[in-house]
Chains A and B, each alone.
Chain A
Amino acid sequence: MVAVDQLEDIAKQVRRDTLVMLNRAGSGHTGGSLSSVEILTALFFSKMRHKPLDPLWDQRDRFVLSKGHAAPAFYAVLARCGYFPLEDLVSLRKLGSHLQGHPDCKFTPGVEVSTGSLGQGLSMANGISLALKLDGKPSRVYVLLGDGEVQEGQIWEAAMSAAHYKLDNLCAILDHNHLQIDGTVEEVMNIEPLSDKWRAFGWKVFNINGHDYAQILTAFDKAERTKGQPSIIIAETIKGKGVSFFENKVEYHGVAPTDEELERALRELEFDSQRG
């Protein structure tokens, strides 16, 4: 298992990669990528059993990025794990690149299913979980949801199904950064009481700080020990996390850093890593 301080170093690299990719692409989703970095690195560098050089290894745990717009952070994590060369990252969103604007399983190793249209990933994760259970495989399935995303009706259809079919091999993580595009989740369409809703739908709920590795990893382990029902980890996060002038800023949901912003952001991350 990778130590927490190592995970923190990886997270910093992933943040840098993400910012550079977004800057080179000139478009993409900065805020929601940065809020997911710890969750993604904890999964791919510590929790999940997988083989980057054998992406279809049949014993692997599966991951579905239901909030597909966080693709930059996801790709950075995949590249850092070794699914494809780091040099590929800057081809994000470019013609001919295997790194599409949103995850596309046709092109990118490590991407299990294509996402981008919000609200659809949980059903697909359920389907994968059902298939694994039918085959008697011990693999687990992880799916990352956005907090705005759970306004989609299909999420609640899928929430029902996962509990109905007792998908205890499934663990959802909700990136609860409290922001979506048009404003705060509370203003746009309130989803609270969130934990009560999932509990009422038959899920085991864990509430954690989504930037704290100890809490993230403990929650993954507890979810794994939960039997007879699916688990959801509601992770309190900060949109834009790691770059002070992006943090909690609704306007940085879907814009890429300019050259000047990139420079400032990288300097901040550098300073942090020297301090930390």
Chain B
Amino acid sequence: MGVREAYGETLARLGEVYKDIVVLDADLSGSTKTCIFAKRFPERFFNMGISEQDLMGTAAGLAAAGKIPFVSTFAIFATGRAWEQIRQSIAYSSLNVKIVASHGGITVGDDGGSHQAIEDIALMRHLPNMVVIVPTDAIEMKSIIETIVEYNGPVYVRGSRIKFPIIFDDSYKFEIGKGHVLLKGSDVTIVATGYMVHSSLEAAQRLAQEGIYVEVISMPTIKPLDEVLLLKSAAKTNAVVTVEEHLVTGGLGSAVSEVLSENYPTTLKRIGIRDKFGISGKPKQLLSHFGLTPHNIVEAAKEVLGKKKKRVSLKVVATG
């Protein structure tokens, strides 16, 4: 099951329990999977047409009147077209609106750069009051939706078009602001989010074959970031790689480097898109075009490991 499907089904299920849930979409309910809720609860579903600014504003009003609005469209239109509506009408008053977008990142594929949100995490992360979440698999998405419905405040969840492998089991419980060590290691820390968690796990396997043991952390919550987990791991490995399907500026890589720079300066390499827009292609092709493959992660891990060793030996020379 994909993360979109997990969202749609969970939302429809929660609709039975939470009578205050209302769902809004902007003519993309088939893609975002809010159509499942719409079918079951037509009176609580509002298609706002192709008008994302009004979509966000209406959701704000519904929240102000006590409803729990879930708002869905593609990530780029949600966070781009309606950014100022999210800022002024939602985040500024900390209204209880859940923006659950689909089609984050370049794995949107064929539709090309106009439809690939590579800056959405940055746009949402910079809004006070906003929580920013990226699911790792369908099971986590289900738990995310079950968790945020109980949380009072604005949340952005970045979903994807492609299906992700499943790594969690049904007992998994998502918590806002908690990362997970998926693999223990002491040579390098890899912090990843979304689909990149899976690529990082694959990279970790390859590195282990070469005798390099990396710690893989999945960071489903980009904001608030699990600083404690990050710093603990960085203190152990002294070398960090971040991996995200997003610009290296403003997203997970930025968040991690901000925390490390202020608290524990560490050799760091950010993997992501560097100052470019997306292009058309198949998701797999695009991931390798933009350097987001397990191979790239392996190379980055070796690079930070090399730098760390050089640093250590320099220190030995200097102090010795």
Stretch at the interface among B3-11, B57-65, B158-166: B57-65
Contact A113 B60 (CB under 8 A): yes
Contact A131 B57 (CB under 8 A): no
Q: A161 vs B54: C-alpha distance in the bound complex, in angstroms?
A: 8
Q: In chain B, what residue has the closest Cβ to A124?
A: B61
Chain B residues within an 8 Å CB radius of A119: 53
Chain B, 81-117, CB within 8 A of any chain A CB: 84-85, 88-89, 92-95
Q: Is residue B43 within 8 Å, beta carbon to beta carbon, of the partner chain? A: yes
Interface size on A, residues (CB 8 A): 33
Contact B89 A124 (CB under 8 A): yes
When each residue 117-156 of chain B gets 1 if its CB lies under 8 Å from chain A and 0 otherwise, what string results?
A: 0000000000000000000000000000000000000000
Contact of B49 among A124, A127, A132, A160 (CB under 8 A): A160
Contact B65 A120 (CB under 8 A): no
Q: Is residue A153 within 8 Å, beta carbon to beta carbon, of the partner chain? A: yes
Q: A62 vs B66: C-alpha distance in the bound complex, in angstroms?
A: 13
When each residue 114-131 of chain A gets 1 if its CB lies under 8 Å from chain B and 0 otherwise, what string results?
A: 111101101111111111
Most buried by A among B46, B56, B58: B58
Q: Is residue B231 within 8 Å, beta carbon to beta carbon, of the partner chain? A: no
Q: Known contacts being A123-B57, A126-B58, A134-B22, is A117 close to B84, with CB within 8 Å?
A: yes
Interface range on chain B (Cβ under 8 Å from partner):
20 to 34
Q: A132 vs B64: C-alpha distance in the bound complex, in angstroms?
A: 11
Contact A106 B94 (CB under 8 A): yes
Chain B residues within an 8 Å CB radius of A116: 88
| A68 vs chain B, min Cβ distance (A) | 9
Chain B residues within an 8 Å CB radius of A131: 22, 61-62, 64-67
Q: Known contacts being A104-B93, A134-B22, A134-B67, is A124 close to B60, with CB within 8 Å?
A: yes
Contact A157 B53 (CB under 8 A): yes
Q: In chain A, what residue has the closest Cβ to B67?
A: A131
Chain B residues within an 8 Å CB radius of A126: 54, 57-58, 61
Chain A residues within an 8 Å CB radius of B313: none
Q: Is residue A8 within 8 Å, beta carbon to beta carbon, of the partner chain? A: no
Contact of A154 among B61, B66, B85 (CB under 8 A): B85
Chain B, 43-77, CB within 8 A of any chain A CB: 43-44, 46, 48-49, 51, 53-54, 56-67, 69
Q: Is residue A43 within 8 Å, beta carbon to beta carbon, of the partner chain? A: no
| B25 vs chain A, min Cβ distance (A) | 13
Q: A132 vs B65: C-alpha distance in the bound complex, in angstroms?
A: 7
Chain B residues within an 8 Å CB radius of A158: 54, 57-58
Contact A127 B53 (CB under 8 A): no
Q: Is residue A112 within 8 Å, beta carbon to beta carbon, of the partner chain? A: yes
Q: Known contacts being A117-B84, A131-B61, is A154 close to B46, with CB within 8 Å?
A: no
| A2 vs chain B, min Cβ distance (A) | 27
| A156 vs chain B, min Cβ distance (A) | 9
Q: In chain A, what residue has the closest Cβ to B87?
A: A117
| B130 vs chain A, min Cβ distance (A) | 15
| B77 vs chain A, min Cβ distance (A) | 13
Chain A residues within an 8 Å CB radius of B53: 119-120, 123, 153-154, 157
Chain A residues within an 8 Å CB radius of B89: 113-114, 120, 123-124
Contact B61 A128 (CB under 8 A): yes
| A105 vs chain B, min Cβ distance (A) | 5
Q: In chain B, what residue has the closest Cβ to A113?
A: B64
Q: Is residue A245 within 8 Å, beta carbon to beta carbon, of the partner chain? A: no
| A230 vs chain B, min Cβ distance (A) | 13
Contact B43 A134 (CB under 8 A): yes
Chain A residues within an 8 Å CB radius of B95: 113
Contact of B57 among A62, A105, A112, A120 (CB under 8 A): A120
Chain B residues within an 8 Å CB radius of A120: 53, 57, 85, 88-89
| Chain B residues in the interface with A (C-beta under 8 A) | 22, 43-44, 46, 48-49, 51, 53-54, 56-67, 69, 84-85, 88-89, 92-95
For the A-B complex with A114-B88, A127-B58, A158-B54 known, give 8 more contacts whose Cβ atoms are closer than 8 Å: A105-B93, A112-B64, A115-B88, A124-B57, A127-B60, A127-B69, A131-B67, A135-B65
Q: Which 10 A-B pairs have the closest CB atoms?
A: A127-B61, A123-B57, A131-B65, A157-B54, A157-B51, A124-B61, A127-B58, A127-B62, A154-B53, A117-B88
Instruction: Write 13 A-B pairs (CB below 8 A) sorted by A numbering.
Output: A62-B65, A106-B93, A114-B89, A120-B89, A123-B57, A127-B59, A127-B64, A127-B65, A131-B67, A135-B65, A157-B48, A157-B51, A158-B54
